[in-house]
Amino acid sequence: MNLSLVGKRALVCGSSAGIGRACAVELAALGASVTLMARDAAKLAAVRDSLAGAGGGAAGDHAVAVADFQRVDEVQSAAKRAIEAHGPHHIVIHNTGGPAAGPALDASVEQYAQAFAMHLLTGQVLVQAAVPGMKSAGYGRVVNIISTSVKQPIAGLGVSNAVRGAVAQWAKTLAGELGPFGITVNNVLPGYTRTERLTSLVRGRASKGNVSEADVERDLLSSIPAGRFGEAKEIASAVAFLCSPAAGYVNGVNLPVDGGRLGGL
C-alpha cells in the first residue's frame, strides 16, 4: 500500500495543538513538507521544529503561516503567501476550533455568522488558493476535520451542529467538481477525543449540571462502545490515509473516527 507523501506539500490548519498538530506530525512522518497554520507564531514554530524532516531532508522544509481563523481575509492572504513562497500545496487539512457550546435557539445571528465564516468561508478561500497547484500536479487532497454531529447532532452544541452540516455538504459538492482532476475531498468526523476542546466541553457540562467532571466523563464514556476517548494521533492516522496515494479512489465521504459511538451508519 502506497502511503508515501514524499514530494508533496501539506497545509495543516489549527496545527499548533490537538488534532491539527497530530496531523502535521503524521504527514511529516510520511514524507510531506508541511506548512503549519494557526494564530500563535511561537507555538507553530515549536511544532515545526519538532517535525520529521520532509522526504528525509532538513526540518527547514517545513514552514509557518500565521493567521486568525476569525478573519477570513487573513487566512486567504496567509495561504496565498505560503503558496508563493513554497510552491503548490497538494494537501489541505481544514481544521479549526469549534464554536462555543449552547442551545441553537439561544445563539445570536452574529454567532452563527462568525461560525459560518470560521468553518466554511475559510475552507473556501483555502481551497481556491490551493486548487490551481493541485490541478497542475494532477494530485490533490482536501480533508475537513468536522464532527460526528454531521450524522447525529450533539446536545448543547447548537451552532456547531448547524455549521458542521453546511461544511459537509460544501465538501461533498466540491468532491464532485474536483474529482476529475485527481483531487479528492473528504471529511473526517472525530468522536470524543482527548483535546482542549473536550476538556472545555466536560467542564462546561459539569458546571451547568452541578456535577463533577468525572461524572460527565463517565456519562460520555458510557456512549462509546470502545470504552475510552480517542487520541489525536488516531484521528491523524485516518487523515493521513485519506491524503495518501492509496486513498485515490476515496472521494466525498464522511469518515467517523469515534470508537463506534454513532447510533447509525
Tell whether 125 and 220 lie within a shared domain.
no
Tell whether 60 and 151 lie within a shared domain.
yes
30 occurs within a structural domain? yes
What's the pTM?
0.94
DSSP codes of every residue in 114-159: HHHIIIIIHHHHHHHHHHHHHHHHT-EEEEEE--GGGTSPPTTBHH
Tell whether 206 and 242 lie within a shared domain.
no
Residue 144's φ and ψ, nearest 5 degrees, are -100, 125
Tell whether 216 and 243 lie within a shared domain.
no
19 occurs within a structural domain? yes
Tell whether 130 and 211 lie within a shared domain.
no
* pLDDT the model gives residue 56: 45
Distance CA 10, CA 140 (A): 10
* pLDDT the model gives residue 53: 75
pLDDT by residue for the chain (265 residues), tens only, comes to 999 999 999 999 999 999 999 999 999 999 999 999 999 999 999 999 999 874 444 445 899 999 999 999 999 999 999 999 999 999 999 999 889 889 999 999 999 999 999 999 999 999 999 999 999 999 999 999 999 999 999 988 999 999 999 999 999 999 999 999 999 999 999 999 998 888 888 888 888 888 899 989 999 999 999 999 999 999 999 999 999 999 999 999 999 999 999 988 8
* pLDDT the model gives residue 198: 86
Tell whether 223 and 237 lie within a shared domain.
no
Tell whether 244 and 116 lie within a shared domain.
yes
Tell whether 167 and 185 lie within a shared domain.
yes
Tell whether 94 and 208 lie within a shared domain.
no
Question: For the chain, what is the domain count?
Answer: 2
3 occurs within a structural domain? no
Angle at alpha carbon of residue 17, lines to 165 and 154, rounded to 5°: 30
149 occurs within a structural domain? yes
Length of the chain: 265
Distance CA 94, CA 13 (A): 6
SS (H, E, C) 1-46: CCCCCCCCEEEEECCCCHHHHHHHHHHHHCCCEEEEEECCHHHHHH
Check which CATH number belongs to the domain holding 98 and give it.
3.40.50.720
Tell whether 187 and 198 lie within a shared domain.
no
Question: Domain span at residue 57?
Answer: 9-191+233-256
261 occurs within a structural domain? no
Tell whether 210 and 121 lie within a shared domain.
no
Report how far apart, in Å, the C-alpha atoms of 53 and of each of 30, 175, 194, 217, 237 are.
10, 31, 27, 38, 18
Side chain identity, residue 13: C
Tell whether 238 and 182 lie within a shared domain.
yes
42 occurs within a structural domain? yes
Q: Cell triple for residue 59?
A: 526540518
222 occurs within a structural domain? yes
Write out the H or E segment, with its range, that includes residue 235: helix 232-243
Q: Cell triple for residue 98?
A: 469549534
